[in-house]
Amino acid sequence: MISLDRKKILLLLFLLMVSVAIPFIMVQTTYMVAPFIILTVLSIFVVGLTLANFQFGVYLLFIYGCSMFVLGKIINVHIPYGIAYDLIILLTFLSTLVNARNKKGFQWKTNEPIVIIQFIFYAYFILQIANPNAVSIAAWVTSARFMTLFLLFYVFIHFFENKKRVAYFNVLWMSIAMLVASYGLFQEYFGLRDFEWKWLRADPNRLGLYYVWGHMRVFSFLSDPSAYGLFLGFCGLATLMMGFGPFSIARKSLYFGMTMFMFYAMSFSGTRTAYAMVAVGIVLFIVANLRNPKILAGSSVLVLIFIILMVGPFYSGPIKRMRSTFEFEGDASMAVRDAKRIRLQAYVKTHPIGGGLNTAGNSGLALSRGHPLAGNYDPDSGYLRTALEMGWIGLLIAMSLNLAIVIKGIKNYFNLKDSLLKTYSIMYIVPFLGLSVAHYAQDALFQKPINILVIATYALMIKLQDIDEMEET
């Protein structure tokens, strides 16, 4: 048997040979080989770490989800970044299975309404492959990637094992949210970089959507201004809730400062839905704390700030856009969306199981040509798209899931004994409700990377009760 010292020598020799061989191959072949080798080595390293520790996969997924779009803008080569995102979820889930087998076993949590409704929804999703109104199997296959989010849900069920894990995850996304907000403000005050301008000008329609009212909407590291605004709206609401938690004055001040910074950066996204999302979330928080005088006093300050911004003598672009969010009459954009929604309602009423996945709007043109729903338009509303493609039955299931999550979160807030866990419940459920309402105006719930926070909310609403019981024993 080889001794340990000899094994180390053999490993060093192997690494030495590889370190010499790789530069030699890079020099002797085309320039494309070098990045391919580097990417392969990195991929093997990442896959190994993820399979060895599923917690690493969770952190990697969030970091990659926030950076994949800027990579696509810098590297002017068509690479399926979204597939890599799904593969990270799959690898992390496999690692979770191994980890669960070595511990207490896999936690199905099938006694929870949130889990039951998800099983019903994904079963219905799979049955859509046989939808007689669909015209293409390929359209369903393309949409099947959506089911990786169910795997991610179970990853989080096992990830949120204790308060420390939740705290680490919070630190991760708060830190990244601050980076996203910082770069958004950099774009606002110093302008876009050359690679960003090149990406914008590659599509004249994109440039027209981003340059509104004489102002360039910022998007930071994310895919577009909408994703940027909603992401910061969610994170800003969450840190606001943390500011009312059981912390020291210094830490509360830090959370409130982060909130103001994120909301300020969010204002340059030009996404009016984000303003509505924040307003809805704050209303829920106030309603949930009508008997808490300290929180009501703090909430009154927020309401006062909102009133000043709405009626004060301020006329910047972001302020005007925020005010237009709450001016329901005479809004041309909303009128167009309402007219489109009314026009498409007839199809929903006569097709209870919908037209099939990837049949509505531009995705229908690309994947389901000839379908009655296909056309040069965007459904805008995530709920409308669900109703069109999965029928009012699918819409009812999806809305039932959102309702179950909000109810569970509110019950946690009032029933949990640990004050920190109560704060964790409200910090996720408040922005989730706001995002659920925003889903009415656009496809808000499942954009990357905010869909990671949404799925984390699903799991955390279940796991907080387990952690609370564990803390008591």
Q: Residue ranges of the domains in the chain? A: 31-106, 109-472
CB 262 within 8 A of CB 278: no
Radius of gyration of the chain from its Cα atoms, rounded to whole angstroms: 24
Residue 291 has a pLDDT of: 80
User: Cβ–Cβ contacts within 10 Å for residue 406, how many?
Assistant: 18
Hunting for tokens 């999703």 — which residue is that? 125
> Residue 216 phi/psi, 5° resolution?
-85, 120
The helix-helix angle for 54-74 and 81-102 (nearest 10°) equals: 180
The rounded distance, in Å, linking the Cα atoms of 443 and 433 is: 14
Q: How much is the pTM?
A: 0.91
Residue 7: per-residue pLDDT: 67
Contact, 272 vs 325, CB < 8 A?
A: yes
Burial 29-62 (b: 16+ CB within 10 A, else e): eeeeeeeebeeeeeeeebeeebbeebbbbbbbbb
Q: How far apart are CA 177 and CA 182, in angstroms?
A: 8
Verify cis geometry, omega within 30 degrees of 0, for the bond prior to 80: no
Q: Is 105 exposed, middle or buried (0-12, 13-18, 19+ CB in 10 A)?
A: exposed
Can you read off the two tokens belonging to residue 423?
């704060």
Query: Which pLDDT value is given to residue 1?
Result: 43
* Cα atoms in the Cβ-side hemisphere of radius 13 Å centred on 104: 5
CA separation, residue 107 to residues 77, 86, 157, 168, 400 (Å):
41, 22, 7, 21, 23
Do residues 344 and 379 touch, judged by C-beta distance below 8 A? Answer: yes
Quote the Cα angle for 235-336-396, to 5°. 60
Query: What pLDDT does 469 receive?
Result: 92
Digitized pLDDT (tens) for each residue of the chain, 473 residues in all: 444 567 667 767 776 776 777 676 666 666 566 666 667 777 788 888 999 899 999 999 999 999 999 988 888 777 788 999 999 999 999 999 998 887 878 999 999 999 999 999 999 999 999 999 999 999 999 999 999 999 999 999 999 999 999 999 999 999 999 999 999 999 999 999 999 999 998 887 888 888 876 778 999 999 999 999 999 999 999 999 999 999 999 999 999 999 999 999 999 998 888 988 998 999 888 888 878 887 777 767 777 776 766 666 666 666 666 666 566 555 566 667 777 788 888 999 999 999 999 999 999 999 999 999 999 888 888 999 999 999 999 999 999 999 999 999 999 999 999 999 999 999 999 999 999 999 998 889 999 999 999 999 999 999 999 999 988 76
Contact 202, 212 (CB under 8 A): no
Q: Phi, psi (5° rounding) for residue 215?
A: -140, 135
256 C-beta neighbours (distance < 10 Å), count: 16
Indicate the SS3 state at residue 331: coil
Distance of alpha carbon 441 from alpha carbon 277, whole angstroms: 10
Between CA 347 and CA 364 the distance in angstroms is 15
Element (H, E) at 215: strand 215-216
Structure tokens at 173: 């996304």
The predicted structure's pLDDT at residue 293 = 81
Q: What are the phi and psi torsion angles at 374 (to 5°)? A: -70, 140
